[in-house]
């Protein structure tokens, strides 16, 4: 906690931390006194009307009093603890007040926040004000004792204690300065302890943090799966729809070109025929980039072979897969290979590349390398950061070795079960 670190620094007394700590303790009375007043009023009114059943909802609403109080306390904690405190509550499963209430009732955080609210209203805020008064009131009283004394009055310090003379007021000045410095340390230490207690009670428990992390990981995996399903749908629609129409158009233009005599009309038809074939080629490349049919029909080994065949550089292959893998793993592995080959062609100045694909002990192993100039930097916009994020969804790991002068080697490990034997996929090796 930063406020604890500030206590050990030189110049602490001249920093803003004593004042921030004092503000943190003093403002504790805002939610504390307010909650105490409201709860007392609701108990009186609700208890009076309980016999008529009107007061029962009011009394039941007190169970949720800790939710807004805890949210305000987490926000107020920033006075002495800049590190944010995560909200332990999860998003309700649906809209409506009833769903919100049902969700909150089942959460341990709701009842923990209620207990904190009771503690705040009955113990914490009076204690905070007492520490603030002890650390600041007496030093300020001593430092300002000369004001009433010079006008002929006296400055009371407590039962039977008072400053009457200018000499006593003058002697009180150094004592006030010393106590003010000591009070600054006292107030800041008390604020640090109070903040630590608040964080302990109102931050997510380890089990809740693990649950929230699992929810985030699961939702991210679901988004990726939905994205892959949408990619396959788009690929299928393009292959079965637009591509077939372009093939029909190109065929019709070719037949028309055979029937036309030489001349301007035949030249225009020939130009349209060439453009349709070019559009068909570009569409096929686009389909390959979205989700190639070879990956869906024949698996990762065949898809990697196809990607290597389309690479502008010679690619040495060592594929040791004897079956099909889960669809998310195959898609991730394929697009990693494609991205790596694209990077090699654009940036490496390599003469050759190589790809090794295998499966060992529940892990898919990919290695893509080249004999280029090296010096690949994931922060340089090469797409490796996106690949790392994609791998993280399914628990994969990516490591890159690219010293200046090369070679560059990209290694990927993806957890996955043993390949399922399939007649449509077989290991292939190409020189």
- Which domain-ending residue is among 204, 239, 270? 204
- Which domain-ending residue is among 271, 290, 309? 290
Q: Based on the domain organization, do 59 and 182 belong to the same domain?
A: yes
Q: Is residue 78 a part of any domain in this protein?
A: yes
pLDDT of residue 81: 84
Mean pLDDT of the chain: 78
Q: Based on the domain organization, do 260 and 305 belong to the same domain?
A: no
CA distances from 255 to 13, 133, 248, 272 (A): 92, 98, 11, 12
pLDDT of residue 431: 43
Residue 85 has pLDDT above 90, yes or no: no
Give the residues across from 269 on adjacent strands: none
Q: Is residue 238 a part of any domain in this protein?
A: yes
Residue 426 has pLDDT above 60, yes or no: no
Q: Is residue 319 a part of any domain in this protein?
A: yes
Q: Is residue 153 a part of any domain in this protein?
A: yes
Residue 416 is part of a domain; what is its CATH number? 3.30.565.10
Which positions ≥6 away from 255 have C-beta within 8 Å? none
Q: Based on the domain organization, do 246 and 117 belong to the same domain?
A: no
Q: Based on the domain organization, do 245 and 387 belong to the same domain?
A: no
Q: Is residue 190 a part of any domain in this protein?
A: yes
Q: Based on the domain organization, do 285 and 354 belong to the same domain?
A: no
- 197-211 pLDDT per residue, tens: 888 888 866 555 566
Q: Based on the domain organization, do 188 and 298 belong to the same domain?
A: no
- 5-45 pLDDT per residue, tens: 777 778 878 888 888 888 999 898 888 888 888 888 888 87
Give the Cα separation of 394 and 123 in Å (integer): 48
Q: Higher confidence at residue 9 or residue 367?
A: 367
Whole-prediction pTM value?
0.46
Q: Based on the domain organization, do 81 and 190 belong to the same domain?
A: yes
Q: Is residue 213 a part of any domain in this protein?
A: no
pLDDT of residue 54: 66
Q: Based on the domain organization, do 189 and 40 belong to the same domain?
A: yes
pLDDT of residue 353: 92
Q: Based on the domain organization, do 160 and 301 belong to the same domain?
A: no
Q: Is residue 230 a part of any domain in this protein?
A: yes
Q: Based on the domain organization, do 166 and 270 belong to the same domain?
A: no
Instruction: Tell me what percent of the residues of the chain surpass a pLDDT of 90.
Output: 4
Residue 160 has pLDDT above 60, yes or no: no
- Tell me, what DSSP letter sits at residue 89? P
CA distances from 210 to 108, 170, 278 (A): 14, 60, 53
CA distances from 174 to 169, 180, 292 (A): 10, 10, 83
Nearest to 276 by CA among 244, 237, 236: 244
Q: Based on the domain organization, do 319 and 392 belong to the same domain?
A: yes
Query: Confidence band (pLDDT; 50, 70, 90) for 224?
Result: low
- Which domain-ending residue is among 290, 322, 346? 290
pLDDT of residue 222: 65
The number of distinct structural domains making up the chain is 3
Q: Based on the domain organization, do 45 and 123 belong to the same domain?
A: yes
CA distances from 44 to 53, 63, 210 (A): 14, 16, 41
Answer whether 348's CB lies under 8 Å from 340's CB: no
pLDDT of residue 202: 86
Residue 313 has pLDDT above 70, yes or no: yes
Nearest to 356 by CA among 373, 340, 376: 340
- 33-77 pLDDT per residue, tens: 888 888 888 888 777 776 666 667 777 778 888 888 988 998 988
Q: Higher confidence at residue 277 or residue 284?
A: 277
Residue 321 has pLDDT above 70, yes or no: yes
Answer whether 398's CB lies under 8 Å from 387's CB: yes
Alpha helix (H) ranges present in 203-326? 206-237, 243-259, 264-290, 293-298, 300-310
Residue 143 has pLDDT above 50, yes or no: yes
- 330-359 pLDDT per residue, tens: 888 888 888 888 888 888 888 899 999 988
Q: Is residue 348 a part of any domain in this protein?
A: yes
Domain enclosing residue 102, as ranges:
2-204
Count of residues making up the chain: 431
């Amino acid at each position: 906690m930063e406020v604890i670190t500030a206590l050990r620094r030189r110049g602490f007394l001249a920093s803003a931390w004593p004042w921030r700590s004092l503000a943190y303790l003093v403002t504790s009375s805002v939610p504390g006194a307010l909650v105490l007043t409201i709860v007392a009023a609701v108990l009186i009114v609700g208890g009076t009307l309980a016999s008529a059943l009107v007061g029962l909802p009011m009394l039941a609403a007190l169970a949720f009093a800790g939710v807004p109080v805890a949210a305000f306390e987490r926000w107020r904690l920033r006075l002495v603890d800049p590190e944010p405190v995560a909200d332990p509550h999860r998003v309700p499963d649906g809209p409506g007040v009833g769903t919100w209430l049902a969700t909150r009732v089942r959460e341990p955080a709701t009842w923990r926040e209620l207990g904190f609210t009771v503690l705040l209203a009955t113990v914490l805020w009076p204690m905070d004000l007492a520490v603030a008064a002890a650390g600041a009131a007496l030093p300020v009283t001593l430092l300002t004792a000369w004001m009433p004394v010079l006008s002929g009055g006296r400055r009371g310090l407590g039962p039977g204690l008072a400053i009457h003379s200018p000499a006593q007021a003058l002697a009180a000045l150094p004592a006030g300065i010393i106590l003010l410095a000591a009070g600054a340390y006292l107030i800041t230490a008390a604020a640090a302890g109070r903040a630590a207690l608040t964080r302990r009670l109102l931050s997510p428990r380890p089990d809740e943090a693990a649950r929230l992390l699992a929810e985030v990981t699961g939702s991210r995996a679901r988004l990726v799966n939905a994205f892959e399903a949408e990619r396959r749908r788009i690929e299928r629609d393009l292959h079965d729809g637009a591509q077939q129409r372009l093939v029909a158009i190109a065929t019709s233009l070719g037949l028309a070109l055979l029937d036309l005599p030489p001349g301007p009309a035949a030249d225009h038809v020939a130009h349209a025929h060439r453009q349709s074939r070019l559009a068909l080629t570009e569409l096929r490349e686009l389909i390959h980039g979205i989700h190639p049919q070879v990956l869906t029909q024949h698996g990762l080994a065949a898809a990697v072979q196809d990607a290597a065949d389309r690479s502008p550089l010679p690619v040495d292959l060592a594929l040791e897969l004897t079956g099909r893998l889960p669809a998310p793993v195959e898609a991730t592995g394929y697009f990693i290979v494609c991205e790596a080959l694209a990077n090699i062609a654009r940036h490496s100045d390599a003469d050759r590349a190589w790809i090794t694909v295998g499966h060992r002990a529940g892990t898919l192993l990919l290695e893509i390398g080249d004999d280029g100039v090296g010096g690949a930097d994931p922060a340089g916009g090469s797409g490796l950061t996106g690949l790392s994020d994609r791998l993280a969804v399914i628990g994969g790991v990516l490591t890159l070795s690219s010293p200046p002068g090369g070679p560059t080697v990209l290694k990927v490990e993806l957890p996955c079960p043993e390949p399922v034997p399939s007649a449509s996929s077989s290991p292939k090796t190409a020189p």
